[in-house]
Amino acid sequence: MSNKDNIYATTQAVEDFTFDAKVVEVFPDMIQRSVPGYATIVSTMGKLAGQFAQNNSNLYDLGCSLGAVTLSMRRNIDKENCAIIGIDNSAAMVERCKLHLSGFRSQVPVDIRLGDITQSNIENASVVALNFTLQFIPLEKRQALLSNIYQGLKPGGVLLLSEKFRGNDEQADSLLIDLHHDFKRANGYSELEISQKRTAIENVMRPESLEQHLTRLQSIGFSQTQVWYQCFNFCSMIAIK
């Protein structure tokens, strides 16, 4: 059972958002109340991983946080000799993720690593997941990260990418942001919490437009790209090599 997210419930000098121990304690509640359809996204990513996993291959969960996607993948894999590798740069997340995963039995081995995904080798991969992770990577490093993933994927392998995105123009972006804030209000967040969280995250999360994402994936070489989920300014897509 996760603790309730009240990190921004009191007036404070807001610092840049980090995935520290304080966030780890409330992360499941925070993500469920902040990302529309999060449970559906995680569940479907697991099903897609099961569909596209190949025998004798690796599946990666990059920016694995507490391991929700890793667990969803593991539940759905029925191919032989597959392994899941989860990587996150937050020591607090990695420690709690390992503890969380230890409570679930499975024949599929999982290796959770502390590391920088922009410096990690992707090898013999049939599935790579980036679930609301790329948006926290500096803009100038995103092309190289995605190219590295593409190179590490086997033919027929897939990238599962979920992102918060920016509207194509100011009016569209404002509408999507307003709808998202209404969603957060309906889930119990106060105006103060919404405002302070937005201040905390604006310097560390740089969303791009959906068109930018799809164009870049195609330019890297992915043969097919398809958005399979969208609610407000959140979406999930699949890119096939």
What are the strands of the beta sheet with 153-164, ordered from one edge? 110-114, 83-88, 58-62, 125-131, 153-164, 234-240, 224-231
Full DSSP string of 129-191: EEES-GGGS-HHHHHHHHHHHHHHEEEEEEEEEEEE-B-SSHHHHHHHHHHHHHHHHHTT--H
Binding-site residues from annotation: 38, 63-65, 88-89, 116-117, 131, 198
- CB distance 69 to 43 below 8 Å: no
Question: Cα separation of 63 and 40, whole Å?
Answer: 18
- C-beta atoms surrounding 27 within 10 Å: 21
Q: Which residue(s) pair with 111 in the sheet?
A: 85
Binding-site residue set for S-adenosyl-L-methionine: 38, 63-65, 88-89, 116-117, 131, 198
